Amino acid sequence: MAARGVGLLTLLPLCARRSQVLRPIHRLLSRAGTVAADVRREEQSSGSVETGSEDRTPKKKFSEVQKERREQAQRTVLIHCPNKISEKKFLKYLSQHGPINNHFFYESFGLYAVVEFCQQESVASLQSVTRAPSMDTEAAIPFRSRFFNLRLKNPSNQPSEQPHAQCSSQSSPSSKKLFELLCYAESIDDQLNTLLKEFQLTEENTRLRYLTCSLIEDIAGAYFPDCTVRPFGSSVNSFGKLGCDLDMFLDLDEIGKFSAHKTSGNFLMEFQVKNVPSERIATQKILSVIGECLDHFGPGCVGVQKILNARCPLVRFSHQASGFQCDLTTNNRIALKSSELLYIYGALDSRVRALVFSIRCWARAHSLTSSIPGAWITNFSLTIMVIFFLQRRSPPILPTLDYLRTLADAEDKCIIEGHNCTFIRDLNRIKPSGNTETLELLLKEFFEYFGNFAFNKNSINIRQGREQNKPESSPLHIQNPFETSLNISKNVSQSQLQKFVDLARESAWILQQQDQDRPSPSSHQPWGLATLLLPSVANSLCLAKKKKKKPASERIKNLLESIKRSSAENSTDTNGESTVSTQP
């Protein structure tokens, strides 16, 4: 529509104009939902859903990973250590309580050790020989946890030649290091994979996240003995970057389940409880008490804030020893299910995580996202946008949520607060996509796709894998996958959306230009993804390119030629998908 008008084109920055003109026609014609159709066709011919994933290694269900990690965390302790400690002596000392399965050290305002015993009894044994610290001027709250402080009996007697503990890093690489790594990469695909490798959560960081939840569960368990504290969000959905917050879900449902089983005989036994007017008030009361508890008794929990009037009430605090910013919620089971869905999408195809990481890093580098709540787009919304884009490829790289529901069996059925959250949980039963597009192409096309998306009239919907008319007037509408009447990006302002669109167009243009003009890896010149992630470099490069432009008359001639070609091609598209304006 508007893309074909020369009048509107003259209002747009040159980078944006180039990206529209260069937009290939085949994307305008691509349609969603074909994965489902393809798989159904395959099923009919082979009689079953093809098993496997790209590498054919069976992948664990989300619930299996959570269960394993949780059990691992329950056998694990966190120890604040003296700065110079002999690893060998430390392990020998702890082994008195039982065999150790795994351990590592890290630094966070001091030296810490995470030690996983083979058996849970070892933790109790260690606790039984641990004393409360004696203090001269302050008084200790005698709280027994799995977070210890190790002191040397005679610090002056420690021989200095002992090899000290090696620390595992819990942070992402510096911009300088990342820049070097990206410049030395051999291709843009290589750059995206490097970024993923450097920023994804390490095994140690993941263990520390589950351990932190487990330590908080011990505290909440003082009030609700059968409660569970589960991590959700990017800590577990496979899209977490080192340094991301730790979202925790206080699950009190297990408590009700025990009584549900005991229904034999003539009587039904119930707990005497206090009643409050609504579920929301119950949530607020529970979180208020747990917040107080963390504040007063929680070892290492500082800066506790009770944000109880939010749409989803929460307690926010810093867990000093792990360095995590934690958000504790309850009655938020749908978010846990969203995490499982994203985990499945992340595991279906290795390109998904690489693309999501680069888009998240790109958005952060250009201040499109922020750790402070506001009118900006969130990482969750960006992830859904990437999933949607990958559903729209031809053939699709990811299946729609509706299709995942058709593959579900009786055990997968899940209704939460009246919302149908059913989808297949065994990802080995989902057929991998036949699409072989490179990451380089996908990155470029992602920017072009959203640089030209009709945000003014269309909503992004991963349930159906196709645009839908916007049901309300928010600038950006991304349907909540499970609570389908909600928009997960309702907070995004028109100006933030426009900034996203402008940057997407500019990034598409930069990548397009570099196709013709790529420096050799040894030249130390930023290129590909490196150019996109360093805003100052991107800007200067853009300026340099503009200086090297052909004479104006030749450029205008070329531009008009392109518009003519583009108009001829677009006239075959009857859906008006070529609209570029984001204005309502």
Which of 98, 233, 323, 346 forms a contact with Mg ion (CB under 5 A)?
Answer: 233
Whose Cβ is closer to Mg ion: residue 238's or residue 566's? Answer: 238
Does 440 contact Mg ion by CB under 5 A?
A: no
* In the complex, minimum distance from the CB of residue 335 to ligand GTP, in angstroms, rounded to a whole number: 4
Report which of 2, 3, 35, 36 is spatially closest to residue 18, judged by C-alpha positions. 3
Does 251 contact Mg ion by CB under 5 A?
A: no
Q: Which residue is nearest to Mg ion (CB)?
A: 233
Residue 338 near which of ligand GTP, Mg ion, none (CB within 5-8 Å, type-dependent) = ligand GTP
d(CA 465, CA 462): 5
* Window 304-363: residues binding ligand GTP (CB under 6 A): 335, 338-339
Candidates 9-17, 151-159, 188-196, 232-240 — which segment interacts with ligand GTP by CB under 6 A? Answer: 232-240
Does 382 contact Mg ion by CB under 5 A?
A: no
Helix residue ranges, H only, 187-262: 188-199, 203-220, 253-261
* Residue 361: count of CB within 10 angstroms of its CB: 22
Candidates 141-149, 228-236, 440-448, 525-533 — which segment interacts with ligand GTP by CB under 6 A? Answer: 228-236
Does 231 contact Mg ion by CB under 5 A?
A: no
Tokens of 562: 């392109």
* In the complex, minimum distance from the CB of residue 237 to ligand GTP, in angstroms, rounded to a whole number: 6
Inter-residue contact 98 to 118 (CB < 8 Å): yes
Grouping H, G, I as helix, E, B as strand and the rest as coil, residue 497 is: helix
Helix residue ranges, H only, 517-551: 529-533, 535-547
For residue 169, what are the CA distances in angstroms to 202, 242, 245, 361?
9, 10, 17, 20
Does 291 contact ligand GTP by CB under 6 A?
A: no
* In the complex, minimum distance from the CB of residue 281 to ligand GTP, in angstroms, rounded to a whole number: 21
Which of 330, 378, 566, 582 forms a contact with ligand GTP (CB under 6 A)?
Answer: 378
The b-or-e profile of 373-395 (16+ CB within 10 A means b, else e) is eeebbbbbbbbbbbbbbbbbbee
Whose Cβ is closer to ligand GTP: residue 330's or residue 480's? Answer: 480
Q: Site for Mg ion (CB under 5 A): how many residues?
A: 4
Q: What is the DSSP string of 456-495?
A: TTEEB-TTTTS-EE-SS--SS-BB-SSSTT-BTTTT--HH
Taken in order 151, 124, 217, 105, the sign of the CA dihedral is: positive
d(CA 502, CA 449): 12
Grouping H, G, I as helix, E, B as strand and the rest as coil, residue 504 is: helix
Preceding amide of 395 cis, omega within 30: yes
**The pairing of beta strand 419-420 with beta strand 415-416:** antiparallel
Whose Cβ is closer to ligand GTP: residue 81's or residue 341's? Answer: 341
Phi, psi of 459 (to 5 degrees): -110, 150
Whose Cβ is closer to ligand GTP: residue 380's or residue 389's? Answer: 380
Candidates 270-278, 377-385, 405-413, 509-517 — which segment interacts with ligand GTP by CB under 6 A? Answer: 377-385
Which of 191, 234, 238, 433 forms a contact with ligand GTP (CB under 6 A)?
Answer: 234
Which of 379, 459, 479, 514 forms a contact with ligand GTP (CB under 6 A)?
Answer: 379
Does 250 contact ligand GTP by CB under 6 A?
A: no
* Window 471-510: residues binding ligand GTP (CB under 6 A): 480, 483, 488
Whose Cβ is closer to ligand GTP: residue 228's or residue 369's? Answer: 369
Does 247 contact Mg ion by CB under 5 A?
A: yes
* In the complex, minimum distance from the CB of residue 382 to Mg ion, in angstroms, rounded to a whole number: 13
Tokens of 546: 């503009």
- Residues in the site for ligand GTP, rule: CB under 6 A? 232-234, 237, 240, 244-245, 247, 335, 338-339, 378-380, 480, 483, 488
- Residues in the site for Mg ion, rule: CB under 5 A? 233-234, 245, 247
